[in-house]
Amino acid sequence: MRSLCNDFDITVGFTKEDEGKPDTFGIKVLPSVTGKENKGFQEDEDEKPSVGEQGLFAYPWDKSSLKSMPIDLRQFKKLDAYAAKVSARSSVESLVSVLLQEAHSDLEKVRAIWMWICHHIEYDVKAYHNEAERSCEPADVLRSGKSVCAGYAGLFEKMCSIAGIECKQLSGYSKGYSYRIGKRFKDTDHAWNAVYLDGKWHLLDSTWGSGSVDGSCSKFTFRYDEFYFLTHPALFINNHFPEDQRWQLLKPSLTLQQFEHNVRYSPDFYTIGLVAASPKTAVIETENGKATVLIESRSPALFLCNLNGVKESCLIMLQKNGVKLEVYPQHTGTHSLQIFAKPPKDKKENYHHVLDYSLECSSVDKSTFLPKALIQPVGPSWLSEESGILNAWPTSPIIHTDDGRCIVTFTRSQDLDFFATLDCDTSPVPESTRRRHIWKTCRGDLAELRIHLPHAGDFALHIWVIVLLSKNADNTSWYVLEYKVELY
């Protein structure tokens, strides 16, 4: 999971001149969010703004865009390339002057500043571990090319000010480098920015947009992340909780307790096309030894999941608009569930870590055993349909038989050639013999498999499609449909 170091607990003294500027990590010091300094909020500090007022966004997210304002990223192609290559470092003023040669609208100015910082300021891992080496003054950050999050946010605010853009530096709590499920937040640990564009405030985090650190927070790697530029507030709140809750830019706003309890979505969760998960809380209590997770997606996606680092004990059932996961812990106690996903277009692309849950299991479902031979996902899905297996029945991924006999039927597309195999973790019957327990019948497009299990137990029924790669190549096959067949 990508994130930046942000778990220091530091409080330093400051004077009136420091108001609006953070200490080393933007801790304890907040700019004013009322009156003329913040056009997005009412002047009465005690009166909360309502939905529809200037500067606020409606909640919940309508799932149509990851951004808080309509943006076509293609319009920034030339500007992004220019800003990323600008090398002026003599002063903050001269740097902004060079950037503004190609940036004219307020949005373009913010974009150029964002792009330059994300490609030229390195997260200072040494300063993170050693307070004496930190400086977050914009001039120092520009000169060294390094800083912690408050330095990123301070430089961003300074550059926006020079460019004539209203910008605020915010501090708050974050689910970043040091976050673990169940963490309770006591002191602010991160800094980011809000910019005022087109009559509304928008949120961004140039620290997390620039790259990531390794697991020990000893090495930083530039890895640009578009997600944190003008992120919709309903998504930004997943891992950023401002000390002043009005800077959530949400109505209604979340409480810190809700923020602590809610599941953390990675940026990849949204960029892949996933939009929501249930349960929404990071800690799940199993019911009768089972936990169920539903993930909604705007488009088809592929999933993997691990329970305590292994793939067993999970059933993955693909749906047109997401996935259903059933998890069966094999012992009581606390378990770690990790969920991975990727778009289906590129079969070679790596899966991205998108979601984590902590499972509290008070009882084990001993009646459900998932064979290690089971290949995920299971049951009929858009994936099996894309491969040419249509209208598969049964629709359930688990087939229970009282006498060892069952039938699977489906419609083939374009004379699809296929075969089926039976696997069992503990079967004494060799694979060649198990195959003789499957009878295949085809009548035109209709296909039928009759299975007679060789003995009691839990079996994985694999259905494979045969594909001719080319005239001069051997045929190849891949699994497209999977069932768990059980006889007790």
Residue from 23, 124, 205, 458 carrying the catalytic annotation: 205
> 308 phi and psi, to 5 degrees?
55, 35
- Quote the CA–CA distance of 190 and 277 in Å, as a whole number: 26
- Quote the CA–CA distance of 260 and 358 in Å, as a whole number: 13
**No. of H helices and E strands in the chain?**
12, 24
Beta-carbon contacts of 345 under 8 Å, excluding residues fewer than 6 positions away, are none
Residue from 190, 240, 352, 462 carrying the catalytic annotation: 190
Half-sphere exposure of 306 (CA within 13 A, CB side): 12
Residue 65: C-alpha distances to residues 140, 153, 275, 405 (Å): 36, 25, 10, 49
Could you tell me the two tokens for 353?
A: 């870590």
- Quote the CA–CA distance of 322 and 307 in Å, as a whole number: 20
Q: Would residue 442 show up in a list of annotated catalytic residues for this protein?
A: no
Indicate the DSSP class of residue 415: S
Q: Would residue 205 show up in a list of annotated catalytic residues for this protein?
A: yes
> 454 phi and psi, to 5 degrees?
-70, -20
Report yes or no: 288 and 364 within 8 Å, Cβ to Cβ. Answer: no
- Quote the CA–CA distance of 294 and 278 in Å, as a whole number: 5
- Quote the CA–CA distance of 54 and 51 in Å, as a whole number: 9
Largest Cα–Cα distance of the chain, in whole Å?
A: 85
Report yes or no: 313 and 341 within 8 Å, Cβ to Cβ. Answer: no
Residue from 118, 149, 160, 361 carrying the catalytic annotation: 149
Q: Would residue 190 show up in a list of annotated catalytic residues for this protein?
A: yes
Query: Whole-angstrom distance between the N-terminal and C-terminal Cα of the chain?
Result: 41
Catalytic machinery residues: 149, 190, 205
